Amino acid sequence: MSRMHALGAILITISLVAFAWPSVRGPDDPPVPVHQRARQWALAPLDAPEAWRTTRGEGVVVAVLDTGVDPAHPDLAGAVVEGPDLTGTARRESLWGRHGTAMASLIAGRGHGGGRTAGVLGVAPGSTILSVRVALENDDPRRGRARQRGGNALARGIRYAVDHGAQVINMSLGCGSGSWEGSAAEQRAVRYALGRGVVLVASSGNDGAGPGRKNFPAAYPGVISVGAVDENMRVAPFSNRQDDLSVVAPGTGIVTADRTGSYVVTDGTSSAAALVAGVAALVRAEFPELSPAQVRRAVERGATRPPAEGHDPAYGHGVVNAARALEQAAGARQRPLRARVPPRGASGEGTAAVSGEDAGAAVPTAATVTGRDAMADSRQAVCAALVLFVLVLALHRLAGRRRRGRPPLPAARPRPSGPPPGGDVT
């Protein structure tokens, strides 16, 4: 091998490696931004990426009965239809829409940026949110007055959502009537929705470590009542244990959208319910003919079960799984699932945990490199060592040829005395 040929091979090798691997970062380089997507650990146990091979919830309207939803958040742009405010309380920007925006992002978040790979991705990113304001934020001092002034806001919100095209209703709230026994108006509204084919999902409540009372609307017959589990699939201490619990879903350290385009980490059965509402939207999108009871059975039978078989007051029927729910629905309809390639940016890979201690704190937009980034750095180090080995081997062979008295090929132009390390680079 000639010296020029060896150098050419080295340059080609270096070029290929440079294109194949990202550049190695030094300790003084700024941290690599970690998108919120990488922090959405809940998408993996839900098996959402597998479910997206069939559907992303296109065409389904999910009503979010909550504190309002911010349609200007980049992850929800174009996904929100604003309904009425039934609270009877004037909108105060600093105390409006935080909880509702968070829940909407878990259902229909579409991300943003190139390929929509940044921000929060919901379980049913193809669905549309119908926002109906029926409650005030927990820290709003007007809550007591609003409950009286609103007058069955939740019951009226359910009926409004049904009459305006909702196929799924999410209620990540409790005791909308102010009573732990529920109300006749709410119960009638629930029956009205079920009778018109609308799936109802609600949070089971967050006083599991206390009295653990039944939480309405979750406790109304026909509603999918949802509890919360942590990253180890253990029931969260705050999650209510009830005989009417349907399923559990991730509910600790959940990254959600916040108003003003930011993000927060939340704990609670509210987030778990929103994730299950997203699963129900996927089932309804693929099987619009199923009744609410059939959708509920598909969600329950598709759950991964707790250690003991059968229903459990803490786990319900188990941890919800989107892909398995679709399979159960397909079995009920006796037809196979459609298969499709998920669009770019629909991946749920690279999920990393966010500590529950950070609940309610703003999520930073950049963080130190962990997980996959550390693996990328190790691959870069291996590649650098390989390039160095090829370079040393080529120089060793050239030196051997000279020692054997083989003259080098004529140079195309005069060379400076003393070739630089690694040969000529032109």
pLDDT along the chain (426 residues), means of 10: 48 34 30 60 96 97 97 96 92 88 97 87 97 92 65 93 98 68 92 98 92 89 97 96 96 92 93 98 97 97 86 95 96 68 41 30 30 37 52 60 46 34 32
Q: HEC profile for the chain?
A: CCHHHHHHHHHHHHHHHHHHCCCCCCCCCCCCCCCHHHHCHHHCCCCHHHHCCCCCCCCCEEEEEECCCCCCCHHHCCCEEEEEECCCCCCCHHHCCHHHHHHHHHHHCEEECHHHCEEEECCCCCCEEEEEECCCCCCCCCHHHHHHHHCCHHHHHHHHHHHCCCCEEEECCCCCCCCCCCCHHHHHHHHHHHHCCCEEEEECCCCCCCCCCCCCCCCCCCCEEEEEECCCCCECCCCCCCCCCCEEEECCCEEEECHHHCEEEECCHHHHHHHHHHHHHHHHHHCCCCCHHHHHHHHHHCCECCCCCCCECCCECCECCHHHHHHHHHHHHCCCCCCCCCCCCCCCCCCCCCCHHHCCCECCCCCCCCCHHHHHHHHHHHHHHHHHHHHHHHHHHHHHHHHCCCCCCCCCCCCCCCCCCCCCCC
Instruction: Give the C-alpha separation, 172 to 174, whole Å.
Output: 7
pLDDT at 149: 56
CB-CB neighbours of 219 under 10 Å: 22
Determine contact, residues 227/316, Cβ cutoff 8 Å.
yes
Amino acid at 36: Q
**Residue ranges covered by each domain of the chain:** 1-32+369-426, 36-358
The answer to whether 112 is a known catalytic residue is no
Q: Which residue has the tokens 């653990």?
A: 212
The answer to whether 66 is a known catalytic residue is yes
| CA-based max dimension of the chain | 102
Q: Which is the catalytic residue, given 47, 66, 70, 312?
A: 66
Structure tokens at 163: 């009459």
pTM: 0.72
Structure tokens at 7: 């150098």
Q: Which listed CATH number (3.40.50.200, 3.30.450.40, 3.30.930.10, 3.40.50.720) goes with 36-358?
A: 3.40.50.200
Nearest to 82 by CA among 95, 93, 72: 72
Q: Which is the catalytic residue, given 105, 204, 239, 270?
A: 270
pLDDT at 334: 62
Q: Which is the catalytic residue, given 35, 73, 99, 112?
A: 99
pLDDT at 17: 31
pLDDT at 151: 65
The answer to whether 5 is a known catalytic residue is no
